């Protein structure tokens, strides 16, 4: 099964993908995480992407298309992938269609997490993650069980993203509305678009996604 999660910054793509990948054996591929790894490694792509990401704008299509094209063909994505943050423009979606058609791979679901953009600034400004294992948390909505200790790995160091400042989040939301929202009619026309209420509590969103994927 191959699935795309679409939604604005803060919609819960990463949170839900972390959960679904375990249950359904899908490989979670987040282009945001891949780009942050390039930035951390100081690679040529990372050096080019850093300033763009810090402004909250989109990195050029050709970089992302090459990056995902290399990643999606790895053996660990062969049983099924769960794309988070890609595609993000119609150009990226068209390139993905070509890649998949060339390998006779079908896209089963494009799931839109439907949220109210105004609530996303609060969600994102409370977000933090474990420095050791990457598990995601929120100051209000998803605290660690024991203060200061990661539930997943026991790590005690946490990080916040440099693009999570409120003014940058607003630029990211605008980029979503202008450049990514046109994907919705694109996938609707292909008959693969589903919608899930992303304003519900985290566990309820996971349950709804589970029902949708089981029905497949």
Rule CB under 6 A: which of 21-40 touch ligand AP5?
31-32, 35
Candidate list 134, 202, 210, 212; residue touching ligand AP5; CB under 6 A: 202
Handedness of CA 41, 83, 122, 22 (dihedral sign): negative
Choose between 72 and 124: whose C-beta lies nearer to ligand AP5: 124
> Is 31 in contact with 58 (CB distance < 8 Å)?
no
- Name beta bridge partners: 149: 146
35's contact among ligand AP5, Zn ion, Mg ion, none, with CB below 5 to 8 A by partner kind, is ligand AP5
Residue 159's SS3 state is: strand
- Name beta bridge partners: 3: 82, 109
Q: How far apart are CA 192 and CA 110, in angstroms?
A: 6
Candidate list 27, 172, 194, 208; residue touching ligand AP5; CB under 6 A: 172
Candidate list 71, 142, 165, 170; residue touching ligand AP5; CB under 6 A: 142
> Is 77 in contact with 29 (CB distance < 8 Å)?
yes
Pairing of strands 109-114, 27-30: unpaired
> Is 26 in contact with 1 (CB distance < 8 Å)?
yes
Rule CB under 6 A: which of 2-21 touch ligand AP5?
7, 9-15
Q: How far apart are CA 73 and CA 68, in angstroms?
A: 9
- One symbol per residue from 7 to 46: x for binding Mg ion (CB under 5 A), - otherwise; what is it? -------x--------------------------------
Please list, in sequence order, all residues whose beta carbon lies within 8 angstroms of the beta carbon of residue 102, skipping any fewer than 6 positions away. Answer: none
Residue 116's SS3 state is: coil
Active site residues: 13, 88, 127, 161, 172
150's contact among Mg ion, ligand AP5, Zn ion, none, with CB below 5 to 8 A by partner kind, is Zn ion
- One symbol per residue from 125 to 164: x for binding Zn ion (CB under 5 A), - otherwise; what is it? -----x-xx-x--------------x-xx-x---------
Radius of gyration of the chain (CA): 17
Residue 73's SS3 state is: coil
Rounded to a whole number of angstroms, the minimum distance from the CB of residue 214 to ligand AP5 is 20
- One symbol per residue from 102 to 141: x for binding ligand AP5 (CB under 6 A), - otherwise; what is it? ---------------------xx-xx--------xxx--x
Residues that bind Zn ion (CB under 5 A): 130, 132-133, 135, 150, 152-153, 155
Residues that bind Mg ion (CB under 5 A): 14
């Amino acid at each position: 099964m191959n699935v795309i999660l679409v939604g604005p910054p803060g919609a819960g793509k990463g949170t839900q993908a972390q959960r679904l990948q375990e249950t359904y054996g899908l490989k979670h591929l987040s282009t945001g995480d891949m780009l942050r790894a390039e930035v951390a490694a100081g690679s040529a792509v990372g050096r080019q992407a850093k300033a763009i990401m810090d402004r909250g704008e989109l990195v050029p299509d050709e970089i992302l298309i090459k990056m995902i094209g290399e990643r999606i063909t790895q053996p660990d994505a062969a049983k099924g992938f769960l794309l988070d943050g890609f595609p993000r423009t119609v150009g990226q979606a068209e390139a993905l269609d070509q890649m998949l058609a060339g390998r006779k791979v079908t896209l089963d679901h494009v799931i839109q997490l439907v949220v109210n953009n105004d609530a996303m600034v609060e969600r994102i400004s409370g977000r933090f993650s474990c420095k050791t294992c990457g598990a995601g948390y929120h100051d209000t909505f998803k605290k660690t069980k024991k203060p200061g200790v990661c539930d997943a790995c026991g790590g005690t160091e946490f990080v916040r993203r440099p693009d999570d400042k409120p003014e940058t989040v607003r630029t990211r939301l605008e980029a979503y509305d202008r450049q990514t929202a046109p994907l919705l009619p694109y996938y609707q026309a292909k008959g693969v678009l589903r919608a899930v209420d992303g304003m519900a509590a985290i566990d309820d969103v996971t349950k709804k996604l589970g029902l949708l994927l089981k029905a497949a």
